[in-house]
Structure 1
Amino acid sequence: MVSAWVVTKVAYVVISIAAGLIFFYVTSPLVKSEKKQPLEESVSLLINFVLYIWVGKILLNIDVFITDPLAILAYPSDSDAFYAATLLLFGNVIYKVKWKGLNIGTIMSSLAPVFLGSAFVYEFIEVVMNDSTLAWGHLGLLFLLLLFFLIFHERQSSVATAGGIFTAWSLGQLILTFYLPYTTLYGYMMTRWFLVLVFILSMTNLIQNKRLRS
């Protein structure tokens, strides 16, 4: 039963990410040849993130993994594994920016639409397939952010728009925690400290980008 649940969740995530990549490709104002690099970077980061979730789950349960590895691999990942994967992904991005010369703006501007599209599709699946009433709050927030993105992504800097999206999303999710028992992202529960951290980092990046442009 647990294995079937894991397979179903993985299928939801894969479908959602595919939808997010399509959304980026369709809405990006870049010409076809210029879309290749940011699209490849987004796919690379998303694949790494999925792998990091498994790594995080193993590291957090290393004692059980040594004695019974199949038990860990078959059991669903929890929020702690998600946070560990986020930390590892952040380290990966820092490495690419400092030693590979990748522009942080390129990463954010490509990840923002992928994130919005994939998260919206995931929550929509939760509502339709699992009749999840708790998903409505996050779904509504994502719908508003999608409208914001479609209206402003060609009028303003893509980096500024991306920073605004991640700032607004984390703030919106934080507000939802006061009205709902819990909020989730791709099925993982989000704690307030994590959302506050995302908000601070996103706001800092937004302010720095504004200073550079002025």
Structure 2
Amino acid sequence: MVSTTVLRFLLILVASYLFGLLFYYVLDREEKLHKKKRIDEIISLTIHIILCIWIGKIIVNFQVFIKDPFAILAYPSDRRALYIALILVSIYTVYETFKKKRPFRPIWNAFIPVLLGTLFMYELLQLIVEKNTYYFYYIIIYTILLLLYILLERYPYQLHIVIYSWFSLQIICSYYLGSVRLFQYIVSPIFIGLLCVLYSCFILLEKKYSEG
């Protein structure tokens, strides 16, 4: 039977994700059919990320999975599973972009505001439900990022500024809090730095590929 804590967490996660989708849908200036298509692609990408996290969890707990595959359901995902998932998603993104010549950037451009809206609402609901002021710092971070996203709507480098601001604010926050939190995962500041490098490399590769 699902515990109350797990059920509450899932409800918060779903409500936050729906808010993220709504945030994108309201702010995007494209036609409704275009937005609906993007939302379908975002949901597909989200499912892909969740599957990669599950693959990561299986890899991390491989011995348990071999002995009892169903026992893996009781194991929570940790940051190692998240790291593996992000590696798999990165490989998938590179493959789709450069090998299959699929314009993947439009999907990510739509996914970023959904992610920001989801993270903001997740932290807000955690603060309200858990009544822990620790979440307040992250609410400030995501409020700043959402405002940046809205104010720079017509600026050509909007997403780059927002993403690099997120990297910077997370590293600054880790200096004061001692760690970085991404949903329920506690990750290393070094990991945030590596994400920044990975994102920069992807931009350079995409630019070089489009020019070539």
State the TM-score, normalized to the length of structure 2. 0.88
Aligned with 1:177: secondary structure?
helix
**Kindly tell me: are residues 96 and 40 of structure 1, through their superposed partners in 2, closer, same or farther at Cα, counting changes over 3 Å?**
farther
Q: How far is 1:2 from its partner?
A: 8.1
Shift of 1:50: 1.2
| Residue number in structure 1 paired with 2:187 | 190
Matches within 5 A, 1:1-214: 3-153=3-153, 155-157=154-156, 160-204=157-201
Summarize the Cα distance change of 1:61–1:99 in structure 2 as closer, same or farther, 3 Å threshold: same
**Residues 120 and 143 of structure 2 are in contact (CA less than 8 Å); yes or no, is this contact kept in structure 1?**
yes
* Partner deviation per Cα, 1:44-64 (whole Å, 9 max, x = no partner): 111111121111111110101
Distance 1:25 1:62, change over 3 A: same
Q: Which amino acid aligns with 2:161?
A: G
Q: RMSD in angstroms over aligned alpha carbons?
A: 2.5
Per the alignment, in what secondary structure is the counterpart of residue 101 of structure 1? coil
2:165 aligned counterpart, secondary structure: helix
Segments of 5+ residues of structure 1 without an aligned counterpart are none
- Same amino acid, percent of matched pairs: 33
Aligned-partner residue type, residue 117 of structure 2: G
User: Deviation at 1:126?
Assistant: 0.9
* Counterparts of 2:183 and 2:56, CA distance in 1: 16
Deviation sequence 1:57-112 (CA, Å, 0-9, x none): 11110101122333321222111111111111112212221244322431231011
Per the TM alignment, residue 4 of structure 1 is displaced from its structure 2 partner at its CA by: 4.4
Measured at CA, do residues 66 and 206 of structure 1 come closer, stay the same or move farther in structure 2, by a change above 3 Å?
Answer: closer
Confirm or deny: 8 A CA contact 2:180 2:189 kept in the other structure: no
SS of the residue corresponding to residue 102 of structure 1 reads: coil
Match of 2:191, SS state, is helix
Q: Which amino acid aligns with 1:183?
A: V
Paired residue secondary structure (1:184):
strand
2:111 corresponds to which letter in structure 1? Answer: L
What CA distance in whole angstroms lies between the structure 2 residues aligned with 1:134 and 1:210? 39
Q: Which amino acid aligns with 1:121?
A: M
- Distance change >3 Å, CA 7–CA 58, structure 1 → 2: farther
Task: For 2:75 and 2:7, locate their aligned partners in 1 and report how far apart those are by CA, in whole Å.
Answer: 11
Alpha-carbon spacing, 1:165–1:123, altered in 2? closer, same or farther (3 Å)? same
Shift of the alpha carbon at 1:25? 0.7
Q: Distance in 2 between matches of 1:10 and 1:203?
A: 33
Q: TM-score, normalised by structure 1?
A: 0.87
* Aligned-pair CA distance for 1:175: 1.0
Distance 1:210 1:29, change over 3 A: farther
